[in-house]
Amino acid sequence: MKKTIITVVGKDTVGIIAKVCTYLAENGINILDISQTIVQGYFNMMMIVDTAQASKKSAEISEELKALGVEIGVVIKCQKEEIFDMMHRI
Partner 1 sequence: MINFFEVAETNEMIDKENLDVRTITLGISLLDCIDADLEKCKEKIYQKIIKAAGNLVATGEEISREFGIPIVNKRISLTPIALIGGACCKTAEDFVSIAKVLDRAAHEVGVNFIGGYSALVAKGMTKADKLLMASIPEALACTERVCSSVNLGSTRTGINMDAVRMMGSIIKEAAELTKDRDSMGCTKLVVFCNAPDDNPFMAGAFHGVTEADQIINVGVSGPGVVKTALEKVRGESFEVLCETIKKTAFKVTRVGQLVAKEASRRMQVPFGIVDLSLAPTPAIGDSVADILCEIGLERAGAPGTTAALALLNDQVKKGGVMASSYVGGLSGAFIPVSEDQGMIDAVQAGALTLEKLEAMTCVCSVGLDMIAIPGDTKDTTIAGIIADEMAIGMVNQKTTAVRIIPVIGKGVGENVEFGGLLGHAPIMPVNSFGCEQFVNRGGRIPAPIHSFKN
Provide the binding-site residues for partner 1, judged by CB under 8 A.
5, 7, 33, 35, 37, 44, 46, 48, 58-59, 62-63, 77-88
Nearer to partner 1 by Cβ, of 26 and 88: the residue is 88
- Least distance from partner 1 to the Cβ atom of residue 29, Å: 14
Nearer to partner 1 by Cβ, of 22 and 57: the residue is 57
Nearer to partner 1 by Cβ, of 27 and 58: the residue is 58
51 vs 36: CA distance, rounded Å: 20
**Contacts by 18-21, CB closer than 8 A, 24 or more apart:** 19/68, 19/72, 20/45, 20/47, 20/65, 20/68, 20/76
Residue 62 backbone class (left: φ over 0; alpha: ψ -120 to 50; beta: rest)? alpha
- Least distance from partner 1 to the Cβ atom of residue 7, Å: 6
